[in-house]
A = this chain, B = another copy of it.
Amino acid sequence: MSKVRVHNLAVSLDGFATGEGQTLEAPFGHAGTRLMEWFFETRAFRSMIGRDGGSEGADNAYASAWAPGIGAEIMGRNKFGPQRGAWQDEEWKGWWGDNPPFHTPVFVLTHHPRPSLTMDGGTTFHFLDATPAEALARARDAAGGLDVRIGGGPTTVRQFLDADLVDHLHVVLVPILLGRGVRLWDGLESLEDRFTVEPVTTPSGVTHLTFARR
C-alpha cells in the first residue's frame, strides 16, 4: 500500500510549527522566516523556486525527499492562505503563484468548500470538508498508487497523527523559542510507541527527527 508521509515540518524547541497572527505578508505570523531558514539555504528549495545554487549536504538530502514518489498532497486551509471563515476572495489561489511546486492534486481541508482550481504544472487544488480518513481515501484515489504527503500546517498533521494514519514523519527541530503560535505535539502522548525515532543534528544547527512507523 502507498505510504502517508510528512516532510520538512519545522518546529521550534517549544513545539510551535507556526507563529501567531498569520497575515498575507507573514504566512508564519510573528515567527517570520525563522522556522524555514535551514530550508531556504538548500539546493532543493532553490530549485523549487527556479533558482541555482544552494547547499548540498545533509539538510538538502532531507529536503529533497519531499517530492519523489508523491502522487497527492493534503493540506490545511491555513497553509493554503490567510483567509478564515467563508471565502471573501475566491481569486486567492494560494501563496505559490500560477505554477505551484506541488505538480499533483492537492486536497485542501476546509469547512468551506469551493470549486477546484486547476493551476499550471499539474497542480489542482480540491477543497474538501472531510475526516482525515475520508480525505486520505480521496487523495489515495488521485495519487495513482503513489504516496500521499500531508503538507501541514500543524493542525492538519496533528489530526492525521492522532488518527494513526501517518507512516513517515520528518520533523526539523529549530533551536528557537517562539513562545506562541500553533503547537504540533499536543494530544500525542507516547507517539514514540508507534514509531522508531532517529534524530540527526546537521551543521546548520537544526536537528532532523525521522519517525518511521514500527
A interface residues, Cβ below 8 angstroms from B: 13-15, 173, 175-180, 185-192, 197-201, 205-207, 209
A201 touches which of B177, B192, B207 (Cβ 8 Å): B207
A175 and B190 within 8 A (CB) = no
DSSP class of A's interface residues: helix, strand, loop or mixed? loop
Q: How far is the CB of A195 from chain B (nearest CB, A)?
A: 9
Could you tell me the distance between the alpha carbons of A198 and B205 in the complex, rounded to whole angstroms? Answer: 7
A197: chain B residues at CB < 8 Å are 175, 205
Could you tell me the distance between the alpha carbons of A175 and B201 in the complex, rounded to whole angstroms? Answer: 13
Q: How far is the CB of A8 from chain B (nearest CB, A)?
A: 17
- Write the chain B residue with the least CB distance to A192: B176
Could you tell me the distance between the alpha carbons of A199 and B198 in the complex, rounded to whole angstroms? Answer: 15
A180 and B189 within 8 A (CB) = yes
A187 and B179 within 8 A (CB) = yes
A175 touches which of B176, B177, B189, B199 (Cβ 8 Å): B199
Could you tell me the distance between the alpha carbons of A169 and B15 in the complex, rounded to whole angstroms? Answer: 19
Could you tell me the distance between the alpha carbons of A175 and B186 in the complex, rounded to whole angstroms? Answer: 15
A189 and B201 within 8 A (CB) = no
Could you tell me the distance between the alpha carbons of A177 and B214 in the complex, rounded to whole angstroms? Answer: 16
Could you tell me the distance between the alpha carbons of A175 and B169 in the complex, rounded to whole angstroms? Answer: 13
Q: How far is the CB of A137 from chain B (nearest CB, A)?
A: 27
- Write the chain B residue with the least CB distance to A200: B201
Q: How far is the CB of A170 from chain B (nearest CB, A)?
A: 13
Q: How far is the CB of A203 from chain B (nearest CB, A)?
A: 11
Top 8 closest pairs, chain A to chain B, by CB: A179-B189, A14-B185, A175-B197, A201-B201, A199-B201, A177-B191, A176-B192, A207-B207
